Structure 1
Amino acid sequence: MFGNMGDMMGLMGKMKDLQARMKEAQEQLSGITESAESGAGMVRVTVNGQKKVVSLEIDNDLIKPDDKEMLQDLVVAAVNKALENIEPKVKEHLQKATEGVLPNIPGLDLGGFMK
């Protein structure tokens, strides 16, 4: 039904290997960073591959109580841009980490393993 039992065992071994590599790759994502800015560089945010903000820099000129709303908008814009920019780096890192474990299946998105 499944071909020979050795094939099945081999596949199970590959899945275990894939899981181990994915776990290791996910841990390494904290070392991959991407920065983005908004407001012509007045707000700068750095995120890591685990989609966590690791630093936030705000120009002193923006720190005024009456500009609070603009500052909030600029921070949100910079964070969203940095998160968007890190996505291709995360994908590339995970693909390299799992290279050769499973056959290259077009359309297989390993990003689903991240959740």
Structure 2
Amino acid sequence: MQPGGQFDMQQLLAQAQQMQQAVMEAQAEIAAAEVEGQAGGGLVKVTIKASGEVVSLTIDPKAVDPEDVETLQDLVIGAVNDAMANAQQVAAERLGPLSGGLGGGSLPGLPGF
């Protein structure tokens, strides 16, 4: 604040610009991050980018039973959901310190935020 109790608008704008840059950097890190999810004690594993793109899917042959396709489908869904939850956790960890100054609003382009 300047003498007389007035805000220094240039300083405020500079701080806002720094915060915007930090958020953009965090968003870029999150978009590049890959996380893993698994189900069935590791019988099904999936790796996704934090943006939600599936990168790889590994299914242990023990999980494949031609007479019980539903269980395999459930394991794949569980692994993807686990990976998505892990991606959201990565985003929360990286953006957590920055989100305090954003008024609790949503962050465009990030699922769940």
Give me the TM-score of the superposition, normalised by structure 1: 0.68
Which blocks of at least 5 consecutive residues in structure 1 are unaligned?
A: none
Instruction: Give runs of aligned pairs for residues 60-99 of structure 1, distance below 5 A.
Output: 60-95=61-96, 98=98
Residue 12 of structure 2: aligned partner:
11
Q: What letter is aligned with 2:10?
A: M
Deviations 1:11-67 (A, max 9, x none): 222222222221222111134332221122110012233233222111224345433
SS in 2 for 1:44: strand
Distance 2:32 2:50 in 1: 7
Deviation of the 1:75 alpha carbon: 0.7
Aligned sequence identity (%)? 31
Secondary structure of the residue aligned to 2:67 is: helix
Correspondence for 1:45 = 46
* CA RMSD, 1 decimal: 3.0
Preserved contact between residue 30 and residue 90 of structure 2 (Cα < 8 Å): no
Q: Which residue of 1 aligns with 2:107?
A: 113
Structure 2: which amino acid aligns with 1:113? L
Q: Which residue number corresponds to residue 24 of structure 1?
A: 25
Distance in 2 (alpha carbons) for counterparts of 1:76 and 1:23: 31
Bigger helix share:
1
SS at match of 2:68: helix
Gaps of 5+ in 2: none
Comparing 61-70 with 78-87, greater Cα deviation is found at 61-70
Under a length normalisation based on structure 2, what TM-score does the superposition of the two structures give? 0.69
